[in-house]
């Protein structure tokens, strides 16, 4: 048997899509990748990502996809890649194909100067490759009754809602709102509708007497596959968020909706915290970090811009690669805050807090302080962490 590893080319599109549809349909429910994730798997977008393949005697037997991401934080753009479409033929498992393809993809990320990688999937499977659940997402449970007590039983329908279709003029307005956010994953204008429509999502424009007022993205299968989830909502006037949620519930005839809010969106957090029935804090994705300094520096600035005053102090870290081939190379840096201004700079010396990549991800980005004793025992770190690493569902791979 001849085994060959390579990157897929444009002519491999149909074979690769058929293969991955078969593997995921065999393991789970019927899957159609171009319909599920048009932003990645439409034919015209295929070569914008990298598809690592393993072939036995010319036939595809495993695939790992790596797709470009651009995290923009206050104008600093950090390159990332998302891992997806991890597929091994059921008759070709336990032959090491997934490990080889994952390690190749991660080696290419380090070579190409990628700052971070992310994915969704079973935790332990991907911790072998240096990924750990991290980041923050706050999910608010909003009932019609909550809104009635705030706005009144018969509050006026201040917004009209309309589901968006490709080519609608409101897409340009929605795109401009998204691009104006202080932190966001950059979205190609030509793919914007496909991005909003992926994962069976629906995009809706909100209008009032002055015209376009904002947009939201939702799907009917929410958290735990129950209820309706708004995974992104952006308005020209965020203070009108409660009215928008009320109009959304009336529009669909729903009694409850879950709403995602990102950890740096302080105005939204304050609004929803004041009326929502309940909330939960979850991880955003599973992340690995290749270049710590630019990511930490950008997120510290975002935290300051979001209104938090950072305490003065400093801490020295060494992130040790150890035996994990997917981890970052050893990196030593110092985080220092003086008069509320933070800097992250290269450093060497004794007394560093030494962490492996998995613990480092949990320390800097986890909402669970007990997950890392270095946080519990350090007042300075308790004052600046966790950092607001986030991931919006429409950007998922």
The per-type count for the chain, helices as H runs and strands as E runs, is 14, 19
Residue 383 or residue 369, greater confidence: 383
- What is residue 377's predicted lDDT score, i.e. its pLDDT? 80
3-state secondary structure of 165: coil
Given 256, 282, 308, the domain boundary residue is: 282
369 with 297: CB under 8 angstroms? no
pLDDT, tens digit, 9 for 90 and up, residues 77-134: 999 999 999 999 999 999 999 999 999 999 999 999 999 999 999 999 999 999 999 9
Q: Are residues 167 and 251 in the same domain?
A: yes
Q: Are residues 291 and 372 in the same domain?
A: yes
299/26 Cα distance (integer angstroms)? 40
pLDDT, tens digit, 9 for 90 and up, residues 8-51: 999 999 999 999 999 999 988 899 999 999 999 999 999 999 99
Q: Are residues 50 and 179 in the same domain?
A: no
For residue 132, being part of any structural domain is answered with no
Bridge-partner residues for 76, per DSSP?
73
3-state secondary structure of 353: strand
Q: Are residues 278 and 141 in the same domain?
A: yes
> Which alpha helices (DSSP H) does 112-255 contain, by range?
123-127, 144-151, 170-179, 192-197, 241-252
Rg (alpha carbons) of the chain, rounded to whole number: 22
CB count in 10 Å sphere of residue 247: 21
For residue 108, being part of any structural domain is answered with yes
3-state secondary structure of 6: strand
Pair of tokens at residue 177: 């709102």
330/116 Cα distance (integer angstroms)? 15
pLDDT exceeds cutoff 80 at 389: yes
Taking the alpha carbons of 302, 305, 307, 313 in that order, is the dihedral positive or negative?
A: positive
Q: Are residues 215 and 170 in the same domain?
A: yes
- What is residue 329's predicted lDDT score, i.e. its pLDDT? 61
289 with 283: CB under 8 angstroms? no
For residue 185, being part of any structural domain is answered with yes
For residue 83, being part of any structural domain is answered with yes
Q: Are residues 182 and 256 in the same domain?
A: yes
289 with 311: CB under 8 angstroms? no
* CATH code: domain of residue 102: 3.40.630.30
Q: Are residues 9 and 83 in the same domain?
A: yes
pLDDT band at residue 368 under the 50/70/90 scheme: confident
As a whole number, mean pLDDT of residues 267-276 equals 96
Which DSSP string corresponds to 18-58? HHHHHHHHHHSS---HHHH-HHHHSGGGGGGSEEEEEEETT
For residue 314, being part of any structural domain is answered with yes
- What is residue 1's predicted lDDT score, i.e. its pLDDT? 86
For residue 349, being part of any structural domain is answered with yes
309: domain range?
287-384
199 with 33: CB under 8 angstroms? no
For residue 392, being part of any structural domain is answered with no
Q: Are residues 88 and 158 in the same domain?
A: no
pLDDT, tens digit, 9 for 90 and up, residues 234-262: 999 999 999 999 999 999 999 999 999 99
Query: Cα angle vertex 264, ends 260, 268, to 5°?
Result: 55
pLDDT exceeds cutoff 50 at 325: no
Q: Are residues 16 and 150 in the same domain?
A: no
Q: Are residues 277 and 293 in the same domain?
A: no
Q: Are residues 291 and 260 in the same domain?
A: no
- What is residue 375's predicted lDDT score, i.e. its pLDDT? 74
In whole numbers, what is the pLDDT of the chain averaged over residues? 93
Q: Are residues 158 and 101 in the same domain?
A: no
Residue 4 or residue 324, greater confidence: 4
* CATH code: domain of residue 366: 3.30.1050
Question: Is there a cis peptide before residue 334, judged by omega within 30 degrees of 0?
Answer: no
Given 62, 80, 114, the domain boundary residue is: 114
Given 282, 300, 315, the domain boundary residue is: 282
- What is residue 324's predicted lDDT score, i.e. its pLDDT? 46
């Amino acid at each position: 048997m001849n085994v060959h590893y390579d990157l897929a080319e444009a002519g491999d599109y149909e074979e690769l899509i058929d293969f991955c549809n078969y593997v995921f349909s065999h393991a789970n429910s019927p899957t159609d990748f171009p319909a599920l994730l048009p932003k990645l798997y439409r034919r015209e977008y295929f070569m914008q990502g990298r598809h690592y393949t393993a072939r036995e005697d010319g036939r595809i037997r495993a695939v790992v996809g790596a797709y470009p991401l651009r995290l923009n934080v206050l104008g600093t753009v950090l390159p990332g890649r998302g891992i997806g479409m991890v597929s091994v033929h059921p008759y070709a498992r336990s032959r090491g194909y997934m490990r080889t393809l994952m390690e190749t993809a991660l080696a290419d990320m380090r070579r190409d100067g990628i700052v971070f990688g992310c994915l969704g999937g079973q935790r332990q499977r991907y911790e072998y490759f240096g990924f750990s659940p991290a980041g923050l997402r706050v999910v608010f449970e909003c009932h019609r009754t909550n809104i009635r007590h705030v706005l009144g039983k018969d509050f006026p329908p201040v917004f009209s809602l309309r589901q968006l279709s490709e080519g609608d003029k409101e897409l340009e307005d929605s795109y401009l709102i998204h691009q104006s956010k202080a932190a966001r994953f950059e979205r190609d204008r030509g793919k914007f509708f496909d991005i909003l429509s992926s994962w069976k999502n629906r995009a809706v424009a909100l209008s009032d007497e002055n015209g376009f007022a904002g947009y939201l993205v939702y799907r009917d299968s929410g958290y735990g596959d129950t209820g309706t989830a708004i995974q992104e909502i952006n308005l020209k006037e965020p203070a009108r968020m409660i009215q928008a949620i009320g109009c959304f519930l009336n529009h669909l005839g729903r009694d409850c909706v879950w709403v995602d809010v990102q950890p740096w969106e302080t105005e939204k957090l304050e609004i929803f915290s004041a009326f929502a029935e309940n909330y939960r804090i979850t991880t955003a994705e599973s992340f690995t970090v290749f270049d710590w300094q630019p990511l930490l520096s950008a997120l510290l600035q975002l935290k300051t811009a979001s209104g938090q005053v950072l305490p003065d102090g400093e801490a020295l870290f060494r992130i040790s690669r150890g035996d994990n081939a997917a981890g970052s190379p050893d990196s030593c840096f110092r985080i220092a805050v003086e008069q509320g201004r933070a800097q992250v700079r290269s450093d060497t010396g004794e007394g560093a807090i030494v962490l492996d990549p998995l613990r480092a991800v949990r320390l800097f980005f986890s909402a669970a302080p007990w997950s890392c004793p270095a946080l519990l025992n350090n007042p300075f770190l308790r004052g600046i962490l966790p950092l607001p690493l986030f991931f919006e569902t429409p950007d998922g791979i």
